[in-house]
Structure 1
Amino acid sequence: MMLLRRRFLAGMGAFGAAALLGPQRVWASAQIAFGDVRIDTLSDGNLMLPADFILGGMPEEELKVVVEAFGLSRDQLTPPCNVTLLRDGTHTVLFDVGAGPDFQPSAGKLAEALNLLDVPAEDVTHVVFTHAHPDHLWGVLDEFDEPVFVNAAHLIGRTEFDYWTNPDTVASIDSARTTFAVGAARRLSAMVENLTLLEDGADVLPGVIAHLTPGHTPGHMSFRVGEGKDAVMVVGDAIGNHHVAFVHPEWKSGSDQDAEMAARTRMMLLDDMARDKTAIIGFHLPDGGIGRVEKEGQGYRFVAGA
């Protein structure tokens, strides 16, 4: 497997008004290739989150060490959003589609990144969702509530679909995520006639296998692309950052809907990828999200682009 190059959009004009809203990640396309497969990660912009949404409730003294080591703010975090694009000469596949126009104004920039690579939305053959949170799903509809990827088959895990389309979810989910539930149900309902539901272990496409990695959401899925030394794991938010999730994967995070299950899933994934030297693509990891997992002390570290 080769990390081929990174491409950048130059200048403030690429960001528009969102550039004024806070710290920005440079727009990038990081690319790897093996055989006939080419994988790009495309920036959808970044989120702007209260730091305690991720860090709240973690052991304060130990957390302070991680915060200082990674230069994190205890007020606000601005994680990047990396959408994965796979092309193999036959299929053009997006793993997640970003936030679209209705979430945070610092996100929803996927269309501009696709334009950079000369990939029209009409050319996308498959849209595969890791889960149904806004920054991953909401970009499936445009500002007029029309489908963006009109020629694509759409795929999501059955458990994830059942959870977000259950009317009881809106009533039972914590209040901070009520809009998540309403927005997910609306978008999943809009595409239901063109939606395939995936089971754990399903073959999504030749060489792409779905794996249930629950915790962040009830039916979160990760996707293994390729085999052996060429294997890549698209993990979505199952490993949601490059700092506490790697250094202390056992810590529970408020960003996960089932924090205990998410921690178990995270530790399993990190252990497997470090042992097998599987490449990782994370939706909120830095430098385009592509890298390797290495064991370090009692935890792990993310090595970008390795």
Structure 2
Amino acid sequence: MSFSRRDFLSALAAWPCLASLPQQALAEVKIGSGVLTAVSDGHLVLPGSFMFEPMTKDELAPILQEFGLSEDQLKPACNLALYRDGENTVLFDVGSGPDFMPTAGMLTESLYGLGLSPEDITHVVFTHAHPDHIWGLLDEFDDPLFTDATYMMGRDEWDYWWNPETVNTIGEDRAAFAVGARRRMEAIEDTVEFFDDGQEILPGVAAIASNGHTPGHMSFEVRNGSDAAMVVGDAIGNHHVAFARPDWPSGADQNAEQAIAARRRLLDRLSAEQMTLVGFHLPGNGIGRAEVSGDGYRFIGEDL
């Protein structure tokens, strides 16, 4: 059996981390005969202004107090969704990789903790192309990490980040987002598959447009028999303001008005159907459900 330099580096990187990894296999929900598992990529450290700047401080204060949050700094979890149906092993987003934040980029180690390697992934499906969702695409040699996977992205999201003018129009604070996304997309441009709103992109996986956080953001309904769950990406980007006050604009969203409409649609449906959801930045393992609470909602995390 041949043992490549890539194999050696992957094994070397994983070895010291395995003992301290959380038991990711427990963070899962059955979808018929399939399994949807939350996989940690670590967490981010963000200035509170990244999200809270457009909000009225007096109205925001009681929410921050209720959830024990600081106005100055946020540390949102990064929870990817992994769906296995016995035939396909589908990873939604690929995390930050090593180049975004030191507190994130642990996806490969988390996969090893589940007994998986990047080569086991059959499909990578992107919700959107922000750094913490796409920068983990490349390995140490700037090659696609998931060597045997089919890469899939919404057509509108791809077109936005592929446009050479995006780096000039997205704003100075996010110009690096555009450069980083384009660099990684160039690595898969000849093999990526595109999809549109409402399309069943894989057996039991349907794309649902939830644009606003980015111009082409997608969520995904995963259904097997009578069981279903929703992978919401960053369309519902936190467990506090996004649920309690979904109509408030967030500084994290590129188009606040569209993001509010998408968030409302998802929360209305999730709460009405009591459908399990997986949120990329929701606490714990990101798995839970939405429940109506007053004029808004609240996140009920699953104790898995």
Same topology, TM > 0.5? yes
With a CA cutoff of 8 Å and minimum separation of 6, indicate the structure with the bigger relative contact order: 2
Offset, 1:27 = 4.2
Aligned counterparts of 1:35 and 1:238: Cα–Cα separation in 2: 25
> Which residue of 84, 87, 90 corresponds with 1:87?
84
Equivalent residue, structure 1, for 2:133 = 136
Equivalent residue, structure 2, for 1:76 = 73
Compared with structure 1, are the counterparts of its residues 229 and 275 closer, same or farther at alpha carbon in structure 2 (3 Å cutoff)?
farther
> Which residue of 236, 239, 252 corresponds with 1:239?
236
Equivalent residue, structure 2, for 1:124 = 121
Equivalent residue, structure 2, for 1:230 = 227
Q: Deviations over 1:70-89 (max 9, x none)?
A: 00011110000001111111
Q: Deviations over 1:64-105 (max 9, x none)?
A: 010000000111100000011111110011000100111111
> Which residue of 149, 171, 181 corresponds with 1:184?
181
Offset, 1:14 = 3.8
Offset, 1:34 = 3.0
Equivalent residue, structure 1, for 2:288 = 291
CA contact (8 A) 2:41 2:105 kept: yes
Q: Deviations over 1:185-230 (max 9, x none)?
A: 1111110111001111111111100011100000000000016752
Establish whether residue 257 from structure 1 lines up as the match of residue 261 from structure 2. Answer: no
Equivalent residue, structure 1, for 2:12 = none
Equivalent residue, structure 2, for 1:108 = 105
> Which residue of 17, 21, 32 corresponds with 2:29?
32
Q: Deviations over 1:282-306 (max 9, x none)?
A: 0000110000100000000000017
Aligned counterparts of 1:95 and 1:219: Cα–Cα separation in 2: 15
Aligned counterparts of 2:80 and 2:149: Cα–Cα separation in 1: 16
CA contact (8 A) 1:28 1:288 kept: no
CA contact (8 A) 1:229 1:277 kept: no
Equivalent residue, structure 2, for 1:99 = 96
Aligned counterparts of 1:112 and 1:232: Cα–Cα separation in 2: 25
CA contact (8 A) 1:133 1:184 kept: yes
Pairing of 1:153-164 with structure 2 (within 5 A): 153-164=150-161
SS in 2 for 1:119: coil
Equivalent residue, structure 2, for 1:7 = none
SS in 2 for 1:192: coil
TM-score normalized by structure 1? 0.90
For 1:247, give the aligned amino acid: A
TM-score normalized by structure 2? 0.91
In angstroms, what is the RMSD of aligned CA positions? 1.7
Q: Deviations over 1:131-153 (max 9, x none)?
A: 00000001110132111000000
**Structure 1: unaligned runs, 5 residues or longer:** 1-12, 20-25
CA contact (8 A) 1:159 1:218 kept: yes
Aligned counterparts of 1:222 and 1:146: Cα–Cα separation in 2: 27
Offset, 1:28 = 5.4
Number of aligned residues? 286
SS in 2 for 1:209: strand
Aligned counterparts of 1:152 and 1:242: Cα–Cα separation in 2: 31
Q: Percent of pairs identical after alignment?
A: 52
Structure 1 residue ranges (4+ consecutive) displaced by more than 4 angstroms after TM superposition? none
